[in-house]
């Protein structure tokens, strides 16, 4: 967050204040998704852009590989993946309608090992 505060091209940002509706694959009901960040910034061309950012561990951004043994851990990973994917599809559509960008950042993009 200090990065956003100090970056000269970032004009405004908010954390978990944007609400994006999505349908959960678990219960089929509508829920509210609060992405981690909304950022208004100046791009390389000098124009203003808005980007919505979700920060997740890399492991939660890839679909779990099918397993023969349906362990609690595996079932949790499948459920988490399904909900996250639904949120991200909704966020991509929400942002596209507004001319915004949506991105998911992991420890790799953030330089965390």
Residue 113 in domain: no
Is residue 111 domain-resident? Answer: no
Sign (positive or negative) of CA dihedral 77, 78, 81, 86: negative
The reported pLDDT for the residue numbered 69 is 86
Global pTM value = 0.88
What per-residue confidence (pLDDT) applies to 110?
Answer: 85
Does residue 24 belong to any structural domain of this protein? yes
Residues 86-97 have a mean pLDDT of 98
Q: What is the pLDDT of residue 13?
A: 97
Domain that holds residue 97: 2-105
pLDDT tens profile 9-46: 999 999 999 999 999 999 999 999 999 999 999 999 99
Instruction: Check residue 25 and give its pLDDT.
Output: 96
pLDDT digits (tens, 9 = 90+) for 61-91: 999 998 888 899 999 999 999 999 999 999 9
Instruction: Measure the CA–CA gap between 43 and 55, rounded to whole angstroms.
Output: 21
- Asked whether residue 84 is assigned to any structural domain, the reply reads yes
pLDDT at 113 over 80: no
- Domain assignment present for 83: yes
Q: What's the total number of domains in the chain?
A: 1
b/e per residue, 21-38, with b = 16+ CB within 10 A?
Answer: ebeeeeeeeeeebebebb
Is residue 112 domain-resident?
A: no
Write the CA distances from 59 to 16, 55, 79, 82, integer angstroms: 22, 12, 13, 13
Residue 69 DSSP symbol: S
């Amino acid at each position: 967050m200090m990065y956003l505060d100090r970056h000269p091209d970032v004009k405004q940002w908010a954390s978990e204040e944007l609400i994006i509706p999505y349908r959960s694959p678990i219960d089929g009901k509508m829920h509210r998704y609060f992405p981690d960040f909304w950022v208004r910034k100046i791009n390389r061309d000098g124009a203003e852009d808005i980007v919505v950012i979700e920060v997740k561990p890399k492991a939660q951004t890839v679909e779990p590989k099918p397993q023969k043994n349906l362990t609690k851990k595996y079932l949790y990973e499948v459920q988490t993946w399904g909900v996250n994917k639904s949120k991200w599809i909704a966020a991509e559509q929400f942002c596209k309608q507004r001319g915004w960008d949506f991105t998911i950042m992991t420890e790799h993009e953030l330089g965390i090992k």
